[in-house]
Amino acid sequence: MTAPGAPRIGVLALQGDVREHLTALAAAGAAAGPVRRPGELAGVEGLVIPGGESTTMSKLAKLFGMMEPLRARVADGMPVYGTCAGLILLADKILDPRSGQETIGGIDMIVRRNAFGRQNESFEASVALSGVRGGPVQGVFIRAPWVESTGAEVEILAEHEGHVVAVRQGRALATSFHPELTGDHRVHALFADMVRAAR
């Protein structure tokens, strides 16, 4: 049972680890649901863009008529949080895009896809994340990108081995790693607070 006044947060459900984000958001006190259509997007106060395959998600967003509504809502200031592929989709520029790959944009950064290696090079690491209380979070890195460079308005929240893995710009938050896979819901709670603050 979600509390009255809980932030209405959608998870972009075109591809990727949607269910895990819905579970984490609910645990963080949000009213969470999947978003696949422009009408569903119009009904949420904030949006999570999950991990998955960024090229596939980009193509599906165009196929489902979601790319332009997503860009418009993010440009209009809707709080948004991207993990892994979601971080790539929130970048204003990809260093090594695949043919036809587009982004939603919203964070003034350049990202490198699969920067930490392939699937079999996935790993977990303790990440000190600015803005999250209670010590480091456990970061699950799966074919993870990193942030090559950022604009002046982007706040760097975390680094791993000298590479930027978490950023925030205004109401947009992004991490290279997957906090939804750890059972630690503090990053989702941070995002829920961002959505409440944007009201």
- Cα–Cα distance for residue pair 183/199, rounded to 1 Å: 27
Active site residue 188: no
- Cα–Cα distance for residue pair 81/191, rounded to 1 Å: 7
DSSP codes of every residue in 12-47: E-SSSSHHHHHHHHHHTT-EEEEE-SHHHHHT-SEE
Residue with the two structure tokens 């002046």: 152
Q: What is the mean pLDDT of residues 167-194?
A: 97
Q: What is the mean pLDDT of residues 191-195?
A: 98
- What is the reported pLDDT for 141? 97
- Cα–Cα distance for residue pair 53/162, rounded to 1 Å: 25
Measured CA distances, 38 to 30, 32, 68, 87, 147 (Å): 20, 16, 9, 21, 29
- What is the reported pLDDT for 144? 96
- What is the reported pLDDT for 190? 98
Spell out the CATH class of 8-198. alpha beta
Active-site residue identified among 20, 21, 45, 180: 180
**Around 3, how many Cα atoms within 13 Å sit in the side-chain half-sphere?**
9
Q: What percent of the chain has a predicted confidence (pLDDT) above 70?
A: 99
- Cα–Cα distance for residue pair 95/111, rounded to 1 Å: 6
- When pLDDT is cut at 50, 70 and 90, the band that residue 1 belongs to is low
- What is the reported pLDDT for 97? 84
**Mean pLDDT across the chain:** 95
pTM recorded for the entire structure: 0.96
Q: What percent of the chain has a predicted confidence (pLDDT) above 90?
A: 91
Active-site residue identified among 84, 160, 185, 188: 84
- What pLDDT, in 10s, does the model give residues 18-34? 999 999 999 999 999 99
Q: Domain spans of the chain?
A: 8-198
- What pLDDT, in 10s, does the model give residues 90-128? 999 999 888 778 999 999 999 999 999 888 889 999 999
